[in-house]
């Protein structure tokens, strides 16, 4: 979900139980006057072992955001701030100052697979948790590139997409060290 000058970040993480979770987090300053957090849960079928969405599920999310969420936010003064994707659900977060029931009614026409939650959060505590996760992901150093393999004559390398920042929730980055010692010599015959 991107529009105009909005900046969104993608963070791939793992829950404490090892299940994959993906976050899309919007970069913006909190607005304490928008004191209500609203969460729309859009479920999807989990057919893969990863329990992550299929391409069709992502298209359904994009349709929901473009055709339902964005117009409802514009009409009622709500601000979308994040999306959490895990275990059969998209959780779409927004802040606003209006009646959450009116917001839910605007979104409810999308379908029966929606569930809504709201809570009073003038300190934007839920958003602060998302931003903390983003900051953790940005401090993790990317893995060093692997040495290039020799290519047969007449071939060219295929461009690879840039890696997304990965974060482990409540986990420190792992480092490997080799013990110091003498190198082993090969026996000659």
pLDDT tens-digit profile of 128-144?
999 998 898 888 766 67
How confident is the model at residue 41, as a pLDDT? 94
Is the Cβ–Cβ distance between 91 and 38 less than 8 Å?
no
What is residue 3's predicted lDDT score, i.e. its pLDDT?
54
| Cα distance between residue 68 and residue 70, in whole Å | 6
Across the chain, what does the average pLDDT equal?
Answer: 79
* DSSP helix/strand/coil, 122: coil
* CATH class of domain segment(s) 17-139: alpha beta
- pLDDT class of 171 with cuts at 50, 70, 90: very low
Give the Cα separation of 106 and 69 in Å (integer): 8
CA diameter of the chain: 85
Question: What pTM was computed for the model?
Answer: 0.70
- Which residue, 63, 62, 130, is CA-closest to 94? 130
């Amino acid at each position: 979900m991107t529009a105009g000058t909005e900046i969104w970040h993608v963070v791939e993480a793992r829950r404490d139980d090892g299940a994959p979770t993906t976050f899309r987090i919007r970069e913006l300053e909190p607005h304490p006057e928008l004191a209500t957090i609203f969460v729309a849960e859009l479920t999807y079928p989990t057919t893969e072992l990863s329990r992550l969405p299929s391409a069709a599920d992502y298209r359904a999310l994009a349709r929901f955001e473009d055709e339902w969420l964005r117009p409802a936010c514009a009409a009622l003064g709500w601000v979308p701030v994040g999306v959490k994707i895990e275990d059969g659900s998209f959780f779409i977060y927004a802040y606003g100052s209006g009646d959450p029931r009116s917001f839910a009614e605007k979104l409810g026409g999308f379908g029966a697979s929606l569930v809504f939650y709201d809570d009073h959060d003038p300190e934007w505590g839920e958003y602060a948790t998302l931003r903390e996760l983003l900051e953790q992901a940005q401090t993790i150093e990317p893995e060093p590139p692997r040495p290039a393999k020799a290519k047969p004559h007449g071939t060219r390398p295929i461009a690879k997409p840039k890696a997304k920042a990965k974060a482990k929730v409540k986990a420190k980055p792992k480092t490997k060290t080799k013990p110091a010692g003498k190198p082993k010599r090969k026996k000659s015959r």
